[in-house]
Structures are given as structure tokens and as C-alpha cells.
Amino acid sequence: MPVPSLFASSSRLLAPLAAVGLLTVLTSCVQAAPPVSANSDDPNANPNFNGLPFDSEIVEVKTRPGEEVATLAGGCFWCTEAVFERMEGVNDVVSGYIGGKIKNPNYKQVCGKMTGHAEAVQIYYDPSKTDFEELLKVFFKTHDPTTLNRQGADGGPQYRSSIFVHNDEQREIAKKTMEKLGEEYRDPIVTLIEPATKFYVAEEYHQDYYRRNPNAGYCQAVVAAKVRKFNRNFGDKIKGSGK
């Protein structure tokens, strides 16, 4: 990934990341990832996790009045964030880490595959304009749900395809949506359904990354293709400012 610039970001975020150590973090994360079996449906199967337990309890997320939240992991969060920021009905998208076994993970730790966290986004949306099922349709059409721990050249459990559900209703919608879409793919959908445990907001430079760094190499090579795919398949769902 390219060395990113530091910018201000979402009003939901906490203190910005200090620049110290940024290059070290990025260097660690661009190293080639060891192969991980896409047939495993359990992130604990990775030997790097040392058998330690993962979070298992759903954590309540505070939302504004008239707003709901969805948490999705579909590879590098730069891509997922860029797609949903364009979607009508979405108020905000925050990149972060979820589904691991340590508190307050950082990018270097997550990329090192030692924490079990996935790169994910929390999507704050207006249920009067869109709903969880519509979000899932966009999610499945803009990443590969048949490769559990890999998206393109990005490999490892931090890039797993997963839906982190906040309640039983979301769990049932996720199951039914996967069943409906299953016949559209040549290979089986291997996306996980996991409890929405503690979500740790990623470092400041990750937030709104594509919007602020559209000419960066990774954005041009990978993120832009995901955005174009959203534009082609969901033209009627693009926010007015993005059409």
C-alpha cells in the first residue's frame, strides 16, 4: 500500500494518529501474506492465533436518532469504505477492526495476523432510505464472497469476508440473503456471520482514504475498480453528489 497522508476525518472519530511510526506500520503490512485456507470457516483455525478465545458477545453501538448500524468486512477497508460512502441512505462510514482477541489493536498488529481482527467498516445509515438487506446486496456485489481469507492480492484472516451482526434480525437477513445469492456464484459463498463485538476505530489516516488519496497507487489499482463496480451495478443508489 502507498504511504498515506494524514488528514482530518469523520466527526465520530477520536484523537488522530500521530505520524511517529507510520512508515514502520505500512512496511509491515505490505509484506506478502502467507496462504490461508479459504475453506476454513473459523478464524481461530489460523495457527498464529495460538488457540486464544475471540470476543463472542455482541456489543451495543450508540447511534443517532433515526439511524441504524451495519458492520461488514470485505477485504481491505479502504475499498469497502469507498463503496458505501457513495450509497444513498448512508450517513457515515468508519473503518476499523473487529472480531479479534486483544484490546485496542493497531494496524501493524492486525496485519501481522496475531490478533484475529478483520478490517471492517461500520456503516451508519438511515432506515427510511435504505435497509440492511440492500446494504448486503451491495456488499456481496462489490467483493468476492467465495474467498474467505483473500481479496485479490490481499491475503490473510484480516481480509476475511464476514458480516458482523448486531442482533438476531440482522443474522436472519444475512442468512436469507446468502441463500438467495448463492446460485449466482460458481463457487460457494464462504462469508462468515459473526457477532458484532467491540469495534476499534482504525488510525486516522485510514479514514476516508480513497476520497482523500484518489491518485495513490493502491487506490488506482484496486479501490477504483470496486467503486466502478458499484457504479455499474447500483447506479440508482448513488448519492446525488456522486452521480
Task: Tell me how far CA of residue 16 lies from CA of 27, 29, 201, 217, in angstroms.
Answer: 20, 20, 11, 24
Which one from 76, 79, 111, 219 is the annotated catalytic residue?
Answer: 76
Instruction: Write the single-letter amino acid at 41.
Output: D
Q: 208: alpha, beta or left, given left = phi > 0 and alpha = psi -120 to 50? A: left
CB 143 within 8 A of CB 226: yes
Please give the angle made by the CA atoms of 35, 38 and 40, to the nearest 5 degrees: 110
Helix (H, G, I), strand (E, B) or coil at 23: helix
To the query of whether residue 76 is one of the catalytic residues in this protein, the response is yes
Torsion angle, CA of 131/137/142/143, rounded to 10 degrees?
Answer: 110
Extract the C-alpha cell encoding 229: 463496480
Provide the annotated active-site residues: 76
